[in-house]
Structure 1
Amino acid sequence: MKKLSYLFLLFLLPSALVAQTEDNSQLFINDMLVLAQNFAQPAADGASYQAGAGWFSSAAALEKWDFRVSVHGNALFVPNDKKSFNLSNSDLELLEMEGITSATFPTAFGGSTSEYFVGDVTFENPLTGGVLTEAVRFKGIDGINRDYVPHAFLQASVGVSAGTEITVRAMPEVTIDGVSASTYGIGAKHSLSQYFRNTYAEGFQLAVGASYSKLNVDYEFDPISVQNFLTMNHIVVDANLFLAEVIGSKRWNNLEVFAAAGVMNSNFDYEMGGDGIALPRVNQELGGIEGGQTQFKGDLGLNLYFSRFRLSAMMTAGEFFNANLGLSVGI
């Protein structure tokens, strides 16, 4: 009877190894998703404020077929609590921090770290069917170490009928500190003051605006590698950003002040770049943390008019602070 039991165990052993393979490798992937999300999420949140800035700096709409072209400089200021995140070994399923049980790690906005992750990843080789175990050791991902993130973009606006103005925006791909980013978008503003001409004081304008922005960010980092299984060396963020806001402005000769209150909705798709048999699984799992979020913001600024030129300065407040400076010329 004992021999029969041993024989039964021998038949079960290969199946047990495969089950261990699947469980072990999946736990490693789960841990990488935890690290990736904590690292990238603050930057994704900040991108909404960057993408929502500078669209509308006056409630007054351009006259029909009037054009305005502008160049904008933008700076997103990063709060300290968006530069780092805390992690404990209890937050991980397979990996653990080398020599410690908890630590603070940088987000994409943060600095560098000297802490390492270690673990043993067991997986099935798809070519041979054999079971492999690889020791992994890699350093936590470093951030760009910035208190603010600058970027610039071009805009062009045209007045159309019924008190409506259409704006397009473009920022071709630029690379700063190993981060490549590009954005394109379209927006529209519609005057509400035209319906209440006798209600508001002279020079006061009220409007609603909406915009859509497409943002692509590619962040490179030191490769994280498990031999014969997975290599990751950059993360790509593909964002769809929507903005709706109410704008009010009041002009006195060459000076105009404006304020706006808006709501932003953002949807982010994450994708890891690299190589290896597990990379498709990683990106499939990343789909599980994709999703939309809603944020609120307020704008306050002023415009100075000089003949055909307009100088705009705006500050946006919310979870982040964002400053925008634009120079426009009417055509």
Structure 2
Amino acid sequence: MIWICLIFSSKSFSQSPQALSRIGLFLDDGVMYSDKYITPATDAAVYQSSSGWMTSPKKRKLYAVTLGIYGNAFFVPKSDRNFEISNSDFSFFTIQDLSGNPVSTTSGPVTMPTSLGGQSQYYLVGQLDDNNQIIMESPNGVNQESIIYPYLQGSISLWKGFEFAVKYSSKVNLKRGNYQVYGFGLKHNLNQYFSGLNKRKINLAALIAYSKEDISFDFIDPITTFGTLGISQINGLVSTTQFQMSVSKEWKNFELMFSSIVNYSDFKYEFGGEKGTIDEVITINNQTVREEFNKRLQSIYKNKYIGLVELSGRYQFSKFYVQSSVAFGKFVNTNLSVQYEF
């Protein structure tokens, strides 16, 4: 159970300058912790959305349509399941173990789960004033060594060697959250300009794609004297532009493809869930606690370039194709699909 408890001496909690200052420190700690908690998952989401965009770099007949069912498997590395944090990293909280014993400031960092990790072993405790305390169990992760989800992808060949592709997955339930990806891409065949490559059955193409990834996790489910905080869910919202160069070689019904991929991703975050009822007692800068949290989350918005390579094999029988791929970089992502070409 993930929970938070605000203990107030009375229903008439005073929003004194001291208390409001302490609330500000609480929000700052929450933003700092959120960054460490969700960033590994949003980085992983880029890898998951990158795979399988190009089924083949070769030029198809005009208006040829390909439809496929895909299964994606992302393997969570051990290094991204946890992070280390110390009391000195917090302005408001101190760390306690689950038995209620404080963690010494001299004992070094403790290990907390990221959104991709396992169970938490610690509380975070802070004091608003002499009478009012916050006790929070740090959030758990999905506790999965691999994240598997299906999606659909289709493409249609256009003029001059262009091909338009779309990708869509419905919202996939994880153990403690959800994941969804959708987007579109445009491929252009390049070996049509080099007759020597055609003779050797070597195909070359470039692709640009745009995708949206929405990944969410249970964060804290607040139970307070005055109600809820309204931050029971945290979302990572990722927009990715992908640039890809691919080359393939054909041997009868088999095609082997190698791709080099560079992604530029825009990462944003927000808290969600049911509206907090504590808003009737506390407001910050004329905003609800969640609105103020989300405003401060803007400080951890980021942009990243991510490079990876992908190796893919595709086998044809009749009008069906079976294709598998593996993408390498900081993470490893695999993809398996069955396609039908009209």
Please say whether Structure 1 and Structure 2 have the same fold, judged by a TM-score greater than 0.5. Answer: yes
AA of the residue aligned to 2:123: Y
Q: Does residue 283 of the first structure (1) align with residue 286 of the second (2)?
A: no
Structure 2 partner of 1:14: none
More strand by share: 1
Corresponding residue number in structure 2 for 1:120 = 127
Is the contact made by 1:225 and 1:232 (CA closer than 8 Å) also made in structure 2? no
Report what 2:239 is aligned to. 240
Aligned-pair distance for 1:221?
A: 3.6
Q: Following TM superposition, by how much is the alpha carbon of 1:148 offset from its aligned partner in structure 2, in angstroms?
A: 1.0
Task: Tell me if structure 2 keeps the 8 A contact 1:65–1:158.
Answer: yes
Cα pair distance change 1:266/1:226, threshold 3 Å: farther
% identical equivalent positions: 27
Partner residue of 2:144? Answer: 146
| 1:103 to 2:105 alignment | no
User: For residues 216-231 of structure 1, what are the structure 2 equivalents within 5 Å?
Assistant: 216-224=214-222, 227-228=225-226, 230-231=229-230
Q: Matches of 2:174 and 2:76 in 1, distance apart?
A: 16
Shift of 1:218: 2.3
Aligned-residue offset at 1:301: 1.5
1:202-213 aligned within 5 A: 202-213=200-211
Q: Is the 8 A contact 2:42 2:215 kept in 1?
A: no
1:192 corresponding residue in structure 2 = 190
Superposed CA deviations along residues 303-324 of structure 1, whole A, max 9, x for unmatched, are 1010101111100000100000
SS at match of 1:230: coil
Q: Which of the residues 304, 307, 318 maps onto 1:293? A: 304
Structure 1 runs, 4 residues or longer, greater than 6 Å off:
none
Matched to 1:291, the amino acid is: K
Could you tell me which residue of structure 2 aligns to residue 268 of structure 1? 267
Contact 1:204 1:249 in 2 (8 A): yes
Aligned counterpart, 1:325: 336
Query: Conserved in 2, the CA contact under 8 Å of 1:119 and 1:137?
Result: yes
Alpha-carbon deviation of 1:199? Answer: 5.0
Secondary structure of 1:137's counterpart equals strand
Give the C-alpha shift of residue 138 in structure 1: 1.3
For residues 273 and 225 of structure 1, the distance between their equivalents in structure 2, rounded to whole angstroms, comes to 16
Report the TM-score, using the length of structure 1 for normalisation: 0.88
Residue aligned with 1:27, SS: helix
Between 215-224 and 32-41, the greater mean CA deviation after superposition: 215-224
Q: Tell me how far 1:152 sits from its aligned partner.
A: 1.1
The reply on whether 1:45 has 2:56 as its aligned counterpart is no
Residues 179-206 of structure 1: per-residue CA shift (max 9 Å, x gap)? 1222211011101101112356521011
AA paired with 1:170?
Y
Shift of 1:45: 0.4
Equivalent residue, structure 2, for 1:256: 255
State which drifts further: 240-249 or 132-141. Answer: 132-141
2:210 and 2:181 map into 1 onto residues whose CA distance is 10
Describe the SS at the equivalent of 1:162: helix
For the 8 Å contact 2:141–2:176, the answer to whether it is kept is no
Question: Counterpart of 1:7?
Answer: none
Question: Partner residue of 2:319?
Answer: 308
CA contact (8 A) 1:54 1:324 kept: yes
Contact residue 57 and residue 314 of structure 1 kept, 8 A: no
1:151-180 CA-to-partner distances (Å, cap 9, x unmatched) read: 111011000000011001111112121312
- Residue number in structure 2 paired with 1:128: none
Q: Does 1:85 align with 2:113?
A: no
Letter in 1 for 2:208: A
Larger-gyration structure (1/2): 1
Structure 1 residue 157 corresponds to structure 2 residue 155: yes
Unaligned runs of 5+ in 1: 1-16, 123-131
Alignment correspondent of 1:35: 33
The answer (yes or no) to whether the contact 2:271–2:293 under 8 Å persists in 1 is yes
Q: How many residues align?
A: 306
| Alpha-carbon offset, residue 61 of structure 1 | 3.0
Could you tell me which runs of 5 or more consecutive residues in structure 2 were left unpaired when the two chains were aligned: 1-14, 97-101, 280-287
